[in-house]
Structure 1
Amino acid sequence: MKEDGFTLIEMLMVLGIISTLVLLAFPLQFNVLKEQEEKQFLKTLASDVLYIQQRSTLTSGMNRITFNENSYRITVDGRPSMNRAYPKGLTIDTRTDRNITFNYNGNIKNPRTLYLVSSLNSYRMVFPFGKGRFYLERQ
């Protein structure tokens, strides 16, 4: 009598190997997801800074970004416009002035460096003196 099947021991071994591989790959998925969320937040923050800079050259109203403990607020023409929450685990060092404002020609009013720290990486957002630019670098 010939049987064409797998034994119980063979099935358990294969299931054990597959389970081990899944358990090893699962934490990697979370890190990739957190990394993507962080990148998207930084792109959004950079876009918001450019938006405030552009609004400052077009209007005479109060345009600024205010950093709080868990979020930042965008104020356009003196009225709060948007509130964006930081991703979980990310903090922005606000020991200095909490506001980013630009003057009428697009230069930053208070040049500074902001430090952004997350559970995965740390960044510097530099606003140099006399320039209308900023750059974000990973440390």
Structure 2
Amino acid sequence: MVLLLVGGFSVNKVMVAGVALIILIGAGAVGAVYGSDIVNWLRFGEKSSARQEKSLETIATLPVSEMYAEAQDRIAAGELNMALVILEGAAQRDHARSATAIGEMYDPARWGEIPSPFTKPDPIEARRWYAKATELGDPRAAELMASLSAWEEAQ
């Protein structure tokens, strides 16, 4: 909890935000500043990052290569669920590398090497995504499917 010293009294940030919002509403200023950094600070207690502000609707309008790059950035930032959603959107639009990346998230042969939002590997799903990526023309997906088959035989 963040405490501020106001006029000799300590108050938390939520109280300050609530009072400020009441003042803004009373002054008719909320419509003028709605969506600005000030209102975001009042709502969330901190300035929103550009990454958080980029909506899925906006990302979905990007070319698939840019969606793939955005997903890789999300993976690097540890936002694995969001990365998966973005990759699935790109794969639905026939982006082979995105389908391969999803397969890798499921692949037990690569488990622990590739960040994944899943709690356990799923060779059936990995194979399904590798097959789609292969159909879409990613030669690496065929190599990964062969590696998965070898892993399954060794089990």
TM-score normalised according to structure 2 size: 0.24
More helix per residue: 1 or 2? 2
Larger Rg: 1
* Structure ranking higher on relative contact order (CA contacts 8 Å, 6+ apart): 1
More strand per residue: 1 or 2? 1
